[in-house]
Structure 1
């Protein structure tokens, strides 16, 4: 999956000489947490809601309210921004972006084109959207998690069984850290007639050294919400 297919392209930016007060208002009105900072059409930094909060005088300080507003109006983004913002290319993968975010403990990345122009923003939410789409969970499919030999062709044996049951493979994810030595753990999400599930499970169980760790079908009708 490529970043350019999942990034947000409707970007709000601020100039380095924008006041902190105006940037704060832009963030609040648009419910966003970061703003790319531009100078002469090029990305030079990023400012986050945390940067603005840390730069603002505390309401418990001795600063007069009018003086505080004056300071915020005079203070510029270039004085509080981070000039070493992390960026990736639009043709980089979504997986690479997720790895960078996790490693750097950030929730958003600036996306540039080959010429170094800012073309998008990628957030944690964008990555989650891509991941959900790739897994196929939204299609209400069955998922099988299977420990199988870490050998060429081991997944193909399961695919052959799925084909015999007219199952359509939606996604295949493989991991090794959580599998026994010499094995790999493969999560396969498939669209299959419920009447064929037991036959498929029985067929997989007959494969030597294959073990079904989990089988289930996610209930998407009653997902928890903030109001629950």
Structure 2
């Protein structure tokens, strides 16, 4: 899944010399949590609502409200934005973007193209949307988990059993996390199964079934 298919393209930015008070107002007005920071028309960094909160005076401060607002209006965005800037390319995968965010404990990445121009921003929310989409939960309520031998043909064998019961596959996801050596976990969503009880019994007789359940987003 390329980042360009899931990123937010309508960019809202802020200049590095703007105040953090202005940054806070922009975030609230647009219901966003991240602002790319520009310097002379080029990307210089990114600031989050978390950065703004950490820059604000403690609740234990003796400053009155007017003094606090005065100080916040004097602090510039460039003074509080993280020094390290991480970016992603529009052709990179959503999976890579998720890995970069997880590794560096960040929740958004500016998307920068070959011409070094920012083309968008991808956030954790965008990544959630992407993974929910490929999970198939909106197309099929029947979710089945397996622990299968890691060899050619095992997923095909499972799929054939489901199809024999009239089922149509909405998604297939696999992974090696928490699977014993020589095995992998496979997660399938299916629909249009004629007799789910009969399918469940046949699958249990032939494979290790981790779960067989219905769920949907309400």
Fold shared, TM-score > 0.5 on shorter chain: yes
Distance 1:217 1:33 in 2: 34
Distance between the aligned counterparts of 1:63 and 1:180, measured in 2?
A: 59
Match of 2:105 in 1: 105
Deviation at 1:63, TM superposition (A): 4.2
Q: CA deviation at 1:89?
A: 0.7
**Does 1:201 pair with 2:209?**
no
Aligned-partner SS, 1:127: helix
Closer, same or farther in 2 for the Cα pair 1:119/1:196, shift >3 Å? same
Kept after mapping to 2: 8 A contact 1:46/1:83: no
Q: Provide the alpha-carbon RMSD of the alignment.
A: 2.1
1:149 equivalenced with 2:136 (yes/no): no
Query: Which segment is superposed worse, 95-104 or 61-70?
Result: 61-70
Contact 2:111–2:119 (CA under 8 A) maintained in structure 1 = yes
Distance in structure 2 (CA, Å) of the matches to 1:87 and 1:159: 39
Change in Cα spacing, 1:22 to 1:196, as seen in structure 2 (3 Å) is same
- Between the two proteins, the alignment pairs up a number of residues equal to 218
Instruction: Say which is worse superposed, 112-121 or 72-81, in terms of deviation.
Output: 72-81
Deviations 1:171-209 (A, max 9, x none): 11112232233222211111123x3323333433443xx
Q: Are 1:213 and 2:210 matched, yes or no?
A: yes
- More deviation, 135-144/90-99: 135-144
Shift of 1:106: 1.3
Matches within 5 A, 1:38-77: 38-58=38-58, 60-63=60-63, 65-77=65-77
2:87 — aligned with what?
87
- How far apart in 2 are the matches of 1:18 and 1:178? 48
- Once residues 22 and 177 of structure 1 are traced to their aligned partners in structure 2, the CA distance between those partners, rounded to angstroms, is 44
CA distance in 1, matches of 2:182, 2:59: 60
Structure 2 gaps, min length 5:
none
